[in-house]
Amino acid sequence: MNAGTAEQTYDVIVVGAGNAALCAALAAREQGASVLVLERAPQEQRGGNSSYTAGGFRMVHGGLDDIRNFVPDLSDEEIANTDFGVYTAEEYLDDMARVTEYRTDPDLAEILVRNSTDTMRWIREKGVPFVPKYGKNAFKHGGRFKFFGGVVIEARGGGLGLVDAEFKAAEKLGVAVRYGARAVSLLHGEDGVEGVRIRTGRLHEDIRARAVVLACGGFEANREWRTRYLGAGWDLAKVRGTRYNTGDGIRMALDIGAQPYGHWSCAHACDWDLNAPEYGDLNMGDTFSKHSYPSGIVLNAHGLRFLDEGADIRNYTYAKYGRIILQQPGQFCWQLFDSKVLHLLRNSYHVKRITKVTANTLEELVEKLEGVNPAQALATIKEFNAAVMDEVAFDPNVKDGRGTRGLAIPKSNWALAIDESPFEAYGVTCGITFTFGGLKISTRGEVLDIEEQPIPNLYAAGELVGGIFYSNYPGGAGLMNGAVFGRLAGEHAGKRALGHAQQAS
């Protein structure tokens, strides 16, 4: 059908409705701009990938006093029994550089890190409550919790709690939202971007705006793009989050000359339950994730270990291990644990919908590992057990150096023999979270063209921005990235839109 004519013009249109998009909408509204949020999903599935996360944020902090600003109701017992640590800007920047193999855009990384704490204060002022991330980023060891990996707090209620609180803040400020509205192209003229063409059902409509912020995710839910850009086999990966992130925002921007940027052949992908649905389930959220592999060992279909489960703290390895699992025969593996570490398993190991087997002997266990060579699996376990450095003390909160000797693939930390029953094993596959390739932006959030010039009136934030993550990702940096650059893009879009409005008057 022919496109219709919109009855209303907004100062700013935000395409997307996850954390990055809502931060953009809130920031633009703070500038006095009228704002419309376009959400492709129906209302009951709103929130993009953010709704499916555990809600953790990686931010710079100076320890207890800073954490109390975000979690003011910490009890005296929690304070006495917890070492919150300190996470400096220099440590954050070092982590960003190290895990991305020193490819992260230094200017964007600097903005992310230096604005992390202030952005978190801003989010909290908008009504998002936070809690300590116990049990995921701090184990109780020796009677005391010690946080590790740079992530201390998460939104209460996880990703759904985060998104619901941000929607409430947007509603309070008068941000308009349209659900079931898929953006299909950008309206573009001599003066730059002039609005968005949307499709609702089979009808098309043009909505005019003085500035547009694209914050509608990457292309992880697009099988064809995954195979085209990530490579063979990626069409078989399960999608951890929303089915609606199919690259629309990226495609629309590229169509008008935006510059592609970042690691287009890589993605955030992790250990995901073998029998999870093809797309995320909001009723389950992040609970299909299986991130406790540092406490055990992992076997493929041949019954062999194929990665170093203890190479680093989970926050610095989980986003790349999904890719390695996808390369294994059958695109699956099994995580094995014995009774010594069952108390360390994350909450996602204790849900009803799970691929799990238990046994009282190793011989019984390997026979239950569907699709795995049992004889080789048993031999691998025994070889691993014999290689454990028993003389080194075990400490799950730090890289303890308790590794193995003589194995072709070592376990560098947290090596404990698999020898005390009962035994548990969990079947996992690859779950893709978001793609790393996207659009190039300026330090003001403007989308840049191939000549490195801003496309007038067009901004971007969140997972569709390239150049920040390469090869890997430090846990908790995704939501922080969305919040920092969403706020940045929304602020500048709002200012530009109001500048236009003032000129027009």
SS (H, E, C) 266-325: EEEEEEEECCCCCCCCCCCCCCCECCCHHHCEEECCCCCCCCCCCCCCHHHCHHHHHHHH
Report whether pLDDT(503) > 70. Answer: no
Report whether pLDDT(7) > 60. Answer: no
Q: Check which CATH number belongs to the domain holding 334 and give it.
A: 3.90.700.10
User: Is 288 a domain residue?
Assistant: yes
481 sits in the region (left: phi over 0; alpha: psi -120 to 50; else beta) called: alpha
Per-residue pLDDT of 319-363, as tens digits, reads 999 999 999 999 999 999 999 999 999 999 999 999 999 999 999
User: Is 154 a domain residue?
Assistant: no
Report whether pLDDT(53) > 70. Answer: yes
User: Is 81 a domain residue?
Assistant: no
User: Is 458 a domain residue?
Assistant: no
What mean pLDDT is predicted for residues 26-41? Answer: 98
Strands (E), 229-259: 238-239
Per-residue pLDDT of 106-121, as tens digits, reads 999 999 999 999 999 9
Backbone angles phi, psi at 365, to 5 degrees: -65, -50
- Tokens coding 307: 């990665």
- Tokens coding 65: 């006093």
In the chain, % of residues over pLDDT 90: 93
- Tokens coding 402: 């308790």
Give 296's pLDDT tier (boundaries 50, 70, 90). very high
Segment holding 254, helix H or strand E: helix 248-255
What mean pLDDT is predicted for residues 201-211? Answer: 96
Give 393's pLDDT tier (boundaries 50, 70, 90). very high
Report whether pLDDT(6) > 50. Answer: no
Report whether pLDDT(282) > 90. Answer: yes
- Tokens coding 20: 């990055």
- Tokens coding 217: 């995710």
Is residue 55 within 8 Å of residue 84, measured between CB atoms?
A: no
User: Is 372 a domain residue?
Assistant: yes
Count CB neighbours of 313 within 10 A. 21
Per-residue pLDDT of 56-69, as tens digits, reads 999 999 999 999 99
What mean pLDDT is predicted for residues 185-195? Answer: 96
How many domains does one find in the chain? 1
Give the domain extent around 380. Answer: 269-430
The predicted structure's pLDDT at residue 135: 75
User: Is 379 a domain residue?
Assistant: yes
User: Is 82 a domain residue?
Assistant: no
Is residue 111 within 8 Å of residue 442, measured between CB atoms?
A: no
Show the DSSP H helices in 130-176 as ranges: 158-172
User: Is 381 a domain residue?
Assistant: yes
Say how far apart CA 225 and CA 235 lie, in whole Å: 9
Is residue 45 within 8 Å of residue 282, measured between CB atoms?
A: yes
